[in-house]
Chains A and B, each alone.
Chain A
Amino acid sequence: MLEVAGLNAFYGDSHILHGVDLTVDTSDRVSVLGRNGSGKTTLMKSILNAGPRIYGRICLDGADLADEPSFQRARSGLSLVPEDRRSFPHLTVRDNLLIALTAAGKRTGLDIEQVLDTFPMLKPLTARYGSQLSGGQQQMVAVARGVMPRPRCLLLDEPTEGLAPVIVRQLAASLVRLCDEFNIGLLLSEQNIWFARFCTQRVYIIENGRIVFSGSWDEFDSRPDVKHLYLAV
């Protein structure tokens, strides 16, 4: 469904991604692991054309997105939840979710009540403003907002960063349920291996802007050297 081939990305003169290849099939759930500064966030942003200068092919359902701007990519079914969450502070939680329906375009998005059912933590907060939420609550809002347009593929950038363990478990459960129920593909960038393993079936490892490993979790487990080389601190 989502195909990335030979992706190079730049910030100014610095070359961040070097020929990244990656695929996410329909309803497939995939992790991208890597250290700080390995290029995970740049990869996510590049797929949405939201910042870096990009060269290479990014195809969604066979159609090359070429130089489509990010709002168009969002409308064609890619939904990015950025690592800094970015819930809209002057809108209520409900409006934060509803505004994301803009990205549903001609498709129909999800019903807000259904989404709220999946994130029980948000139910009592719907009338709060984005600026009145804790970090964990903001992350829930950001993820809920991300699934609202019922994307073909959800791109989650380090969602567990800074979250309490109990919230991480809640988030993992909600996420898997939503993706299963509505056939949403997932591209997850993470450093938390437990969370990544719980949510996804396959894993890529990125290092210095290059994909250095790709395979199932079993294959990952059979290669302790990979884990040591690219993920150990």
Chain B
Amino acid sequence: MQIGFALFNGLTVGMSIFLVAAGITLIFGMLKILNIAHGSFFMIGAYVAYSIIGTDPDSTWKLVVAAILSGLVLAALGLLLNASVFQRLRNIGEAYSLIATFALLMICNGVTKIIWGVNYHSVSAPDALAGAVMYGRFFAPSYSLFIIGLGVLTFLVLEIVVHRSSVGKVVRAIAHDPWMANLVGINTSRIYALVVIAAFFCVGMAGGLLLPNQSLSPLLFESYLLQSFIVVIIGGLGNIRGAFVGAIMLGLTEGANFLVLPDIPGILVYIILIGFLLWRPYGLFPQPGADTAGQAGSLAETEDVPATTPPKALLGSVVATVLAVSVLASMPFWANAGFLFIIGFAMVEAVLALSWNLLFGYAGLTTFGHAAFFALGAYFVGFLLRQETGIPFLVLLSSSLVLGALTAFFVGFIAIRRTSGIALGILTLSLGEILRRAINYSPALGSDDGLSGIPRPRIDLGLIVFDLGSERAYFWFLLAACSVVALALWSFTVGPKGRVLVALRQDPIRAEFLGINVRRYRLTAFVISGAIAALAGGLQAPWAQIVTPEAASYLHSTQPMLNTLLGGSGFFWGPIVGSAIFSGINYATRTLAGLSEVVSGGILLLIVLAAPGGVLGLGSRFGRMKHVGALHKRSTVNELTRIG
């Protein structure tokens, strides 16, 4: 009885996820854009419908009309975004289009908060759907049946359109070869626009129809985002049938989770997802060609991302570095406490971003779970400082470094061997989520509230004792530590190993032909990167004096990405510039909920669309016009080989 109920509930969850996942997979199948913002559009659809009918729809009919209206609003939004954003994203690399849709997510969430506020609302199901259907001993809520019916109906409609209709043939032709489709006279841009509009209409309508399914808040996007991602990945990107099967599997897993591990909801899905990705990184129904998630090297090849360039003007960077460090060092004398606090955070975030860019900008790996390493270090140091074990602080920090390195070795050893591209991204994202949930539900680590009141340590070097108890003292220590780490990373990247990484990032296959063990170099980068991220966490714990599970969340994982891309991933110092700018924006917009997300997201989107080289890239673009860079030569060679 209980089993049946749990599985039935799971199925309801699965079908509601499918309604969102269908749009993601449809857009990916056609435009090859993984729309991270789709969960946010679902949320906007829900809010629009809520604005139309309020909290108590008195008939099913009204709910449906509101849902259709909200679908239309979203379709119009889709039309607008297709022309302004998606069309441009087709010409830039996969990693950058991910970042762009993430920027859309931030903007959507910010706008939602500004328009509708941050309060929770709960919408009740209309009377006709509020009851339950009895079937022998088994009873099912009518509304759940309604959702399941909706999911199956959506699936059938999409299935018939894609696989049985003449429109579907055009769609399949474009999905596989847009260039050739154009040559047989198909107006591909128009079809793209139609697909985006259809996907947005569906997600808007789903948002309305599922209003009574859960409470309405600016956090609504989150559950739908992650879970529909999982469904899409399991099914094989771009595959509607796969997404449907994936949604059912996810729902049943959720149901099983409720029965087996009721204390830690949602964790089983991630564990199964990781196993699944390692087993079949291409999804259940992989399609040949571009429709796969784990396609080897898919991230590195098509990109027009500027490759990391070895620094040239050494003297200039030395002067800039010395200047920046002296300004920072003088800050405790003139900056107010709040500002100083933010700068301290920015320095740690900069180190985290540097470590992430070692993977992205140098090794050519895009990970979405970097915050997990950070949280590992932060909790490790925070927990032991609170216990007052008497272990010297520098030993603690070194241990966090080792802890990060070991974890990264284990994760990387398996992950890099089995996956790449989007699959690696999702795998690391899942690991991060598992860690966050595990922390969330462990009382020893303070659960939701985290560890607070972490004391700031003293450093006893025998002859001299540094008391880092004051804000000012710890700030200087933080500055020194971050500078040392940054310099160490820098000297690594300009050394022989760093050069190999740059080569490998530009063309892993050619690098392999030159006798470079690509996998080992990537693993090395992964280990160093994880170690430094953990160290950054360890450094931050006593500064903030509190560590919360948010440190491990995927939102925190995206911070280093945003900082890196904002500053310029092709420059070693790019992440630091980005962190500084981001902190400035956050500081300036901190008072109004939502505004900071809109501003940060807007800037990010602008950068990806207008200047994929980041802020530093803008500056050097003029220089590059005169001196044709190494990357430029390479692309010319590639083009020449294409000319028959």
Rounded to whole Å, the gap between the CB of A129 and the closest CB of chain B is 11
Query: Beta-carbon contacts of B555-593 to A below 8 Å, as 1s and 0s?
Result: 000000000000000000000000000000000000000
B185 to A82, Cβ gap below 8 A? no
B643 to A41, Cβ gap below 8 A? yes
Query: Beta-carbon contacts of A30-42 to B below 8 Å, as 1s and 0s?
Result: 0000001101111
CB within 8 Å of A: which of B611-644? 628, 632, 635-636, 639-640, 642-644
Residues of B within 8 A of A100 (CB): 184-185
A26 lies within 8 A of chain B by Cβ: no
A71 lies within 8 A of chain B by Cβ: yes
B180 lies within 8 A of chain A by Cβ: yes
Residues of A within 8 A of B170 (CB): 99, 102
Rounded to whole Å, the gap between the CB of B6 and the closest CB of chain A is 39
Query: Beta-carbon contacts of B277-293 to A below 8 Å, as 1s and 0s?
Result: 00000000001110000
CB within 8 Å of B: which of A16-58? 16, 36-37, 39-42, 48, 50-51
User: In the complex, what distance in Å separates the CA atom of A70 from the CA atom of B170?
Assistant: 16
Which of A42, A79, A103 is close to B643, meaning CB atoms less than 8 Å apart?
A42
Smallest Cβ-Cβ distance to A95: which chain B residue: B169
B188 lies within 8 A of chain A by Cβ: yes
Residues of B within 8 A of A124 (CB): none
User: In the complex, what distance in Å separates the CA atom of A74 from the CA atom of B177?
Assistant: 16
Query: Beta-carbon contacts of B154-186 to A below 8 Å, as 1s and 0s?
Result: 000000000000000110110111011111111
B215 lies within 8 A of chain A by Cβ: no
B187 lies within 8 A of chain A by Cβ: yes
User: In the complex, what distance in Å separates the CA atom of A220 from the CA atom of B642?
Assistant: 29
Given contacts A11-B640, A41-B643, A41-B644, A88 and B182 within 8 Å (CB-CB) = no
The range of chain A's interface size is 35 or more
B186 to A71, Cβ gap below 8 A? yes
User: In the complex, what distance in Å separates the CA atom of A39 from the CA atom of B512?
Assistant: 31
A86 to B180, Cβ gap below 8 A? yes
Query: Beta-carbon contacts of A79-118 to B below 8 Å, as 1s and 0s?
Result: 1101100101111000100111011110000000000000
A157 lies within 8 A of chain B by Cβ: yes
B636 to A88, Cβ gap below 8 A? no
Residues of A within 8 A of B177 (CB): 86, 88
Smallest Cβ-Cβ distance to A42: which chain B residue: B643
Rounded to whole Å, the gap between the CB of B637 and the closest CB of chain A is 9
Which of B175, B182, B644 is close to A69, meaning CB atoms less than 8 Å apart?
B182
CB within 8 Å of A: which of B296-345? none
B643 to A39, Cβ gap below 8 A? yes
User: In the complex, what distance in Å separates the CA atom of A145 from the CA atom of B184?
Assistant: 8
Rounded to whole Å, the gap between the CB of A37 and the closest CB of chain B is 6
Rounded to whole Å, the gap between the CB of A44 and the closest CB of chain B is 9
Which of A40, A88, A98 is close to B176, meaning CB atoms less than 8 Å apart?
A88
User: In the complex, what distance in Å separates the CA atom of A90 from the CA atom of B187?
Assistant: 19
Rounded to whole Å, the gap between the CB of A143 and the closest CB of chain B is 13
A89 to B176, Cβ gap below 8 A? yes
A14 lies within 8 A of chain B by Cβ: yes
Which of A83, A98, A103 is close to B185, meaning CB atoms less than 8 Å apart?
A103
Q: 8 A-B contacts, Cβ less than 8 Å apart?
A: A12-B635, A13-B632, A14-B640, A41-B644, A69-B182, A70-B182, A90-B287, A103-B183
Residue positions of A touching B, CB distance < 8 A: 11-14, 16, 36-37, 39-42, 48, 50-51, 69-71, 74-75, 79-80, 82-83, 86, 88-91, 95, 98-100, 102-105, 131, 145, 149, 157-158, 189
Residue positions of B touching A, CB distance < 8 A: 169-170, 172-173, 175-177, 179-189, 287-289, 628, 632, 635-636, 639-640, 642-644
